[in-house]
Structure formats: C-alpha cells, structure tokens
Amino acid sequence: MKDLILGLINLTAKVNRWLVIIAAVGIAFIMVINFVDVIGAKFFGMSVPGALDITEEVMVLVALFPIAYVCLERGHFNITLVRDRMHPALRFVVEIIQYVIAALVSGFVTVRTFTQFQTTISTMTLKEGIDLPIWPANLATVISFAFLTLVWLLLLARTLVTGVEMSIKKEEMEQ
C-alpha cells in the first residue's frame, strides 16, 4: 500500500510539473500579448483587440495551475510557533486533520466549479467584449482544484500509511 501511495504521489508530481510549465508558458504569452499591445498602441496607433480579456483568461492558468505543485512540494507556510511545541503524536493527528479539512474544502470547490463548467458548456456563455468563450477558464479551474484535491488526499494517505514515525523523521530533517 505504501509503494502504491508513493507511486501515485510521484505520478501526480510529474503531472503537476506539466501544469506548472503550462502556467509558465501562460506568463510568457501574457508578456508577449501585452508587449505587442503596448508597442502597437504607442507606435502604430493600433492595439491588440481584446488583449485585456485574453490576459484575464490566461491569468486563470497562471494563478491556479501551480497550486497543487506548491502543495505537493510542501511549499506552503507552516505556523511553527505552536506546532513545534506539540508532542509528535499530537502533530501527527493535527496533520491528519489538516489534510482532511483541506481535501474536503478543495473537493467542495472542485464539485462547484465543475457544476459551473457544465453550465458554461451547455449555455456556451461568452465573455463580453471580444465574445471569448469562458468555458476554457472554467475547465482550467476544475483541473486545478481537482489536482489540488488529489494532492491533499495523497498526502493524507501517505501520512496514514507511513505513520507517526514519518512525521517525526520529517520534523528532524527540517531542523
């Protein structure tokens, strides 16, 4: 079971790296579109039609795709003032509670954004301005939160499978 969980975490890490690469490409795309927009407006009197709308839509990828990666790599901030004074067994329980709450919240957001995605697909809602469909941004949101939920569940499973010893070893390595 432990090998299965660790294998799934490694697979998820690989997929998450691709999501981060897509976000990085999104940043480059935003930079190019805004550069062309500014140069076109200043020197040629023509701007890129819908540059702001396109930038807003791509920002969804840039903002949400890396979240699961940061979570999986333990890149979030820990509040260690109280946590460091806890007994290792209590820290283990708190970590489990943390993962359960995080998985429930991100799971709820995933379900709600999927429902919104279904609505935008069925109605083919368009963004005002340049009539850009908004379903791609909704799909990106669903993918982001689905991977975030998966990461929380895998971290919970890893914590449960490896037990208190892993939590203690992790703390010793951080010090």
Residue 167: its pLDDT value, please? 46
Measured CA distances, 21 to 24, 61, 65, 143 (Å): 5, 10, 9, 15
* Domain map (residue ranges) of the chain: 2-174
Give per-residue pLDDT as tens, 16-55.
999 999 999 999 999 999 999 999 999 999 998 888 888 9
pLDDT tens digits, one per residue of 107-159: 999 999 999 999 999 999 888 777 888 899 899 999 999 999 999 999 999 98
Contact 132, 50 (CB under 8 A): yes
Q: Answer with the residue of higher pLDDT: 107 or 87.
A: 107
